[in-house]
Homo-oligomer: A and B are copies of this chain.
Amino acid sequence: MTTIYDIAKLAGTSKSTVSRVVSGNGYVSKEKRENVLKAMHNLNYIPNQTARNLSQQKSNTLGFLVSDYFPLIGEFTSVFIQVARRKGYNVNLYYTQDKQGERNALDLMATKVLDGIFLMTRNNSWSVIESYKAFGPLATWHRVTLPGVYSAYVDHYPIYTMILKRLTKHGYQRIGHVFSSLRDANTQARLQALKDFSRDCPRVEVKWQKHFKKQAMAGEIAAQQWLQAKQPPQAVICYSDYVAAEFIATLRDAGKKVPEDCLVIGTDNSQIAKLVGFPTVDLCFREQAQNSFNYLYNQLHNEKLPITRLNPQWVDWGRFSDLKK
């Protein structure tokens, strides 16, 4: 491996000068700079990032933590990674299935192997996670209000209200719900929206409600329960597109027609919604990824990259135009 020392020798100068031209910090005469550049080129020099990181106590890499894979992860990470790349940041992906694994990843901030961390999903309690704030900036996809943690959330209350009203307006009298974990703040917001809605429209039947902690199998199990219900809901709102897609696939397998027998709605605006063809709500996950990165970057550089306001939208690919407005 060729090092700055080799370059220095060949260019007839010192390590310091070479370091200056490589990093672009400090003054160096035109003449010396050219010699160094020439030497770098001749020796095929590639700077050692590890040495640099050790010396500077930073790595220009962010950690992306998630517990299980679900399809939205792929889309979300891809925008996060590409946004980070443009600002010179790498990202390490960690699938941390347990508390300890997650802590190990968080620990990496202490030594600046990771400069900052985004948590898509988590294993440890928020108080544990928050304590890592001392090591570097933290952002998350969860809806939480903690002084030290940026949350890229969007309020589900108005969105859920909007969906409920729209369905009611179009004649749906029995509306079912597939929620994620009860402890989740988004679930709470949805439940509140549902409660308030029921007060206004008591005649709409909304009792069919299911809860799942994991996305895997949630849609399938919920669909099984739909199939066994005596009076199944005519429309079901799912907490994620993936769950909605699984729900639909299971109903169709059982010979049901979607959306005729049951209209199923997701809330991610992921590719899957478009492909399977069901209405969904764009909760702006792409902008959330962008905002999250910007937050971490701003913390790290004392800059002011913009954090944009999110503007959720109903999305139906023009296929459910009768549902519009």
Instruction: State the A residues within 8 Å of B (CB).
Output: 1, 46-51, 53-54, 59, 61, 69, 71, 73-75, 77-78, 81-82, 85, 90-95, 101, 107-108, 110-113, 242, 245-246, 248-249, 252-253, 271-272, 274-277, 317, 319
Contacts and interface: CB of A to CB of B under 8 A. Distances in A.
A295 B272 CA distance: 33
Nearest to A91: B93
B111 A48 contact: yes
Contacts of A82: 95
Contacts of A271: 71
7 contacts: A47-B111, A50-B53, A54-B54, A69-B74, A78-B95, A245-B275, A249-B277
A3 B51 CA distance: 17
Given A92-B90, A249-B274, A275-B276, A75 B69 contact: yes
Nearest to A253: B319
Contact of A1 (B46, B111, B274): B111
A264 B91 CA distance: 37
Contacts of A248: 275
State how many copies of this chain the complex holds.
2
A92 B92 contact: yes
A245 B1 CA distance: 48
A53 B53 CA distance: 11
A316 to B, nearest CB: 12
A45 to B, nearest CB: 9
A15 to B, nearest CB: 16
Given A49-B108, A75-B74, A78-B73, A92 B91 contact: yes
Contacts of A253: 277, 317, 319
Given A74-B71, A75-B74, A275-B272, A85 B92 contact: no
Considering residues A91, A246, A277, which has the most beta carbons from chain B within 10 angstroms of its beta carbon? A277
Contacts of A93: 77, 81, 91, 93
A193 to B, nearest CB: 27
A94 to B, nearest CB: 8
Given A73-B78, A77-B74, A113 B274 contact: no
Contacts of A113: 48-50
A293 B208 CA distance: 45
A50 B249 contact: no
Contacts of A319: 253
Given A93-B81, A111-B50, A272 B274 contact: no
Given A49-B111, A249-B275, A276-B276, 20 more contacts: A46-B107, A47-B111, A48-B113, A49-B108, A50-B50, A51-B111, A69-B74, A69-B78, A74-B74, A74-B75, A74-B77, A77-B93, A81-B94, A82-B95, A90-B94, A92-B92, A245-B275, A248-B275, A252-B277, A253-B277
B246 A275 contact: yes
A54 B93 CA distance: 22
Contacts of A95: 78, 81-82, 85
Given A50-B53, A59-B50, A1 B275 contact: no
Given A1-B110, A69-B74, A85-B95, A54 B46 contact: no
